[in-house]
Amino acid sequence: MISMTLEEIASVLSGRLALRGDAAATDVVDGYVETDSREIEAGGIFVAKPGETTDGHNFVGVAAERGARLAIVEHEVDEEISQVVVADAVTALGALAAHVVAAVRDRGALRVVGITGSNGKTTTKNLLAAILAPRGETVAPKNSFNNAVGAPTTMLRVTARTEFLVSEMGASGRGQIARLVAMATPDIGVVLKVGLAHAGGFGGIESTFAEKSAMVTTLPSTAVAVLNRDDERVAAMADLTAARVVWFGLDGTADVRATDVEADRTGTRFTVTLPSGESRPVHFKVLGEHHVSNALAAVAVATELGVPIDEIVERLETVTRAERWRMEVLGGRDDVTIINDAYNASPDSMAAALKTLALVTPPDGRRVAVLGTMAELGELAGDEHDRIGLLAVRLRVDRLVVVGRDARRLHISAINEGSWDGESVFVETADEAFAYLEGELRSGDTVLVKSSNSAGLRHLGDRLGELFSW
């Protein structure tokens, strides 16, 4: 974070400063801002956020012991650490982030990139950070820090030297993206896809469209909206923004487009073409054709930021996985490949992962899908699990292992759709799935493990990867 005095922070937050010990209002802090006391480093700021199961105020003392210089609280805590008392800690976190980003922009050449979409945000963020980091100090989220807490926490990592802030802007309910955009209005706003992820929180696909479009509706005419030409709902956002539009996609009319796309177990090969007409072959090691779209979005942004095409391609080809537990290729022993993609799941990403499984499995190998629930779909959950069960049959998945009661409907739909005889197996737990697969898998199998994070199948994927590691 940039250097600020305690009294400056209190003023920005319209809070009351309560000093402790020998601290003075003019004392300067510039450490990282955290909402988890376990992540606090010396000189940092701890935000005591009330939670669903615990209260951050209970950990103010722990944060102080770890070296925090200041706590942002909703009520004073009897601990030896100076505190700024505010009405709402999460709101205060956002206000501090907005102030810091604006201050750095005023002082230097900070460029802000905002990324949203129902799928692909984390992958695109990681690709873009890999491209930009060699050119200047780049701040990007850890993991999937893209909500009302994670996004401002990332923004607060900018310093006076930061040149690029890459911000994921996600939402599980209405109005959240607009609030994040207001904290750090992007110079380049990216919309990847409008799908059914978190549809239960939005109330349907049209509400999801309205939420995602907040990324571009408030952009000024000096900004750039990078939009997916292949998604009709994202394409419709061109009429909602004053910003200059740059298209990416497989569509032949896209400004940044991919052709000659071929995928196998080693990744995806394609040719990328820029608005200038320049084109280059790319061997993109992140598995799955659907990640080509994310790569194109990153290329479009990097091109707008002045990165030459050869440098972009070189950096893209160094990235070997989208993120931990996202199309992560494991195993290899006995020619058994594990694709661990169980960090998140929506109907779109589940379908894309199954299609990738079908595409990359060798002709003489078996397609094995280990699937768990897709969470946060609300009243759409039943129909969408049905649809994935039918898709698994139509893609000729050889073995389907469905894990957990919340996903059982997927198993039933697969059985009802196909003339199968034991190809679909239902188990209650990940341990049962591991025991079954340990005896079932054989040479040549390609295994997809896919579910929402809440199902915990990412750990099953790791166990399978370790079982078949060299």
List residues forming the annotated binding site for ATP: 117-123
Do the Cβ atoms of 285 and 319 come closer than 8 Å? Answer: yes
Among 374, 336, 308, residue whose Cα is nearest residue 118: 374
Evaluated on CA atoms 113, 115, 121, 122, the torsion sign reads positive
For CA atoms 428, 429, 430, 435, the dihedral sign is negative
Write out the binding residues.
117-123
Closest CA to 400 of 442, 329, 333, 450: 450
> 144, 142, 148: which is closest to 173 by C-alpha?
148
